Amino acid sequence: MIVTFTLLRYRPRGWYGAFANMGRWMMQPFQADGLRFQKMMGCGRNFGLIPDMSAYAFLGVWTDEKAARLFFESNRWKRICQHTKEVGTLYLHPLRSHGAWDGQNPFDSSSERAPDGFPIAVLTRATVRLAALPDFWRHIPQARERLKNHADDLLLALGVGEKPLVQQCTVSVWKDAKTIERFAYRESGHKEVVRRTRERRWYSEELFARFAVVASEGHFFGKPIGWETADTIP
């Protein structure tokens, strides 16, 4: 299995077409050999409520890397990429995953240990209960500030979602396993938020997953995500 996460950023003249593509995908999701799970999502500005009409994200779960690359060479995908100013794709190897997304866990995790030398991507996805929406969004600025405090360790951070307000997803990429462990388990602010989500029952469905970033193509906000890696996943 390989998981891909693609960020597409459009020029202003492509904004309407990109929004229309989102609607077309909802009515007719992609059909491709080896594509086991897919989501097309919009982006929020700075993890906030205001949508970023210039940016969209595509998540795909594939039987293998060859299937993913064949799809990215297809005419339908090339039409999706028309009028983009930037396209970047991460190739991800699942390490750990628990929870559900639309009633299933789409990621087959194969190892609890992150291999040395690989950046780690973290994906969180949740459906927020309607009664919890004010409380949930009130705490987003605090979470955003905590990420800023780790700018040296953070290669990428995005807030995306399927439905405005209620179905939210975050994707972050960290330099290595040690940095994400420090953030997740040693920072009191992050632990407090995790505790609060349980106590106040913010979510009706949630999923948490970690991946090793095994390859990347293109650019993300003007620069490639670069690192030194081992040659293979153990």
Q: What is the pLDDT of residue 125?
A: 95
Distance CA 5, CA 92 (A): 8
CA–centroid distance for 202 within its chain: 20
Place 44 in a pLDDT band, splitting at 50, 70 and 90. confident
Q: What per-residue confidence (pLDDT) applies to 190?
A: 53
Give the pLDDT confidence score for residue 114 in this predicted structure. Answer: 67
Q: What is the structure's pLDDT at 189? A: 52
Average pLDDT in the chain: 86
Helix, strand, coil % in the chain, rounded to nearest 5: 30, 40, 30
Give the model confidence (pLDDT) of 163-195 as tens digits.
Answer: 888 999 999 999 888 888 777 666 545 556 666
CA dihedral 205, 41, 72, 16 (to 10 degrees): 160
**What's the confidence (pLDDT) of residue 193?**
63
Q: Which of 42-51, 52-61, 110-119, 223-232 has the lowest mean pLDDT?
A: 223-232
Q: Which residues of 132-158 are buried (b: 16+ CB within 10 A; e: fewer)?
A: beeebeeebeeeeeebeebeebbbbbb
Tokens 């297809």 map to which residue?
Answer: 74
For residue 69, the model assigns a pLDDT of: 97
**How do residues 122-148 score in pLDDT, each as one tens digit?**
999 999 999 888 888 887 777 777 777
Rounded to the nearest 5°, which phi and psi values hold at 168? Answer: -120, 150
Q: Look at residue 232 in the predicted model and tell me its pLDDT.
A: 35
Compute the distance between CA of residue 63 and CA of residue 189 in angstroms, rounded to an integer: 38
Instruction: Give the HSE-up count for residue 148: Cα atoms under 13 Å, Cβ half-sphere.
Output: 8
Residue 202's pLDDT is 85
- Among left, alpha and beta (phi > 0; psi -120 to 50; other), residue 4 is beta
- H-helix segments, the chain: 15-27, 65-72, 75-80, 133-138, 140-148, 177-181, 188-200
Amino acid at 4: T
From the list 183, 99, 168, 97, the residue with the least C-alpha distance to 136 is 168
How much of the chain, in percent, has pLDDT values that exceed 70? 84
Domains with residue ranges and CATH for the chain: 2-218 (3.30.70.100)
**What's the rounded mean pLDDT across residues 59-64?**
98
Residue 123: name the closest of 172, 185, 58 by CA. 172
Measured from the Cβ of residue 166, the count of other Cβ atoms closer than 10 Å reads: 16
Tokens of 228: 């030194």
